[in-house]
A and B are shown apart, each in its own frame.
Chain A
């Protein structure tokens, strides 16, 4: 048997896990809602037309008796522990991406059990047994590929009821995944823009040149392109542990109670976050190992596929995960339970990267902080009225007031996420920090004390010397412009001219002349 690549990974995916974890029977029509949309549903609900991604109202219209539930990260992780325990019987190191999904390195276990087919079969049986005891059908799906992200894509998109496991021969990942839609990569904005360019599947993406994709979409696009080409260097075994960031906590006396362990977990998580923060680094994965006084070990990798460990508050999320891992160990199957107290807690991050912005997420679960924000928005809308909480999105237009628009936060981000087209006649960046809508009264006077005018060709009638704002006169120190703008000349028409003015008190203002009257459209605060 040819030696498997070090990144050969088996990904296990349990569809609709949030609803399973809630303890709902498969025959009851129920669904878990996240941010107003269906995230998971029971087979009974699915058979009545409920679909993931639907809004609550839509779902109720095809299934009026649908019971809706809130997500609960803790409940989902705790319910997942028995499944993890079953997998851990076959291989000691498991990486958990999110409750309902995990991954293991294939090399060792496949050799031990006599092949990838055998290993896959054993995991399906073991997990199936755990699920059957809860009264659930076999929802386990497995993908095996060279790379954890490719394996997860395979588990989610290449499997089905009749073939719950797919093993992609090494090197054939690109071909096998070519029909998977780009939306599967978990980045809706990237998927949206790619879709507008006519690139709907991974196969389409793979046919582009890397330099084009990198230039247009940056590192996010580059990662997506590599996956589309079947290149995914990430496996489960730690590829680049960073010893200098490791946090080792010795517990003396040995800890036997979960509260003691939880406290140690919090301190250790905080220490790790600070160490990483001081070097402006983020970790893709964290390996958490606990050892007892009798030498028993429990090890798990907490990761999120290709993205950085967590958004929101990394310390609390990591501390929670360590706690769940310890709870699962202490309360798990008797055969795996420790016989002594924990004396050592070791946290080692790996896959360090710079603290940059968004990275690809292969799962689309919002973090707990996203859910908290959603709850706060609901409460505020109850107090202040609907649509009182907004977010700014690029619109189109020359004036600072038109360039962006405030939309209610619940509106999905739409077409506006590509680069904005240039608007001829717009005032150059930097943009003003304060935009006055409606504009504030302002008078602009020339050296003779007369109102400054801008002639037809965009020439000023003189030099702006003074402005009057709130009845206070202020000297103009320097200025720039005018920028004439002839907007909608084919319709009602708005002819405006703008100038930038730096005033004696250090402030700078964008003044606009329209219909013979000046006003302050914006202030460069």
Chain B
């Protein structure tokens, strides 16, 4: 048993977000998209809605199934519901979609999507990830660097990031989801010990 009581509080409070393996399939999906755009995998990165929809459905199913694994293996924690969490989630999705549209149709000198992604990782670090997940700041910094790449390379946005199918961006996004997912899971697994005795929820 860990006697680090602040760690106990942290892991319990953020138990849902520490189930990092749930995001790994989505990270792999982005990496497969990058590979598809390079011509290595037919279908992936093709932009076909039916293929994209089907594969994302598969990702969502895996998200659910891995969640069931966490419930059965590590248990269930219910948090107090805060109204602002749903609002914040919706706001995040809307902001990201707006940023994508700006990048695709406006072609600014810097990538608003990367900037937004970096902002969200930074926000997540200061609101929920510190002090146990410093890698969120590293990922944020990576996205900030990527956002100014078009400016630094003096290339149009669609050549540096979005174009060529957005290979670089898909690769970084997919990799960051996988890395943070695995690290979050390791933190959870390191804190919650699996004993040999099988519990029977008595």
The yes or no verdict on A and B being binding partners is: no
Using CB atoms and an 8 Å cutoff, list the residues of chain A in contact with chain B: none
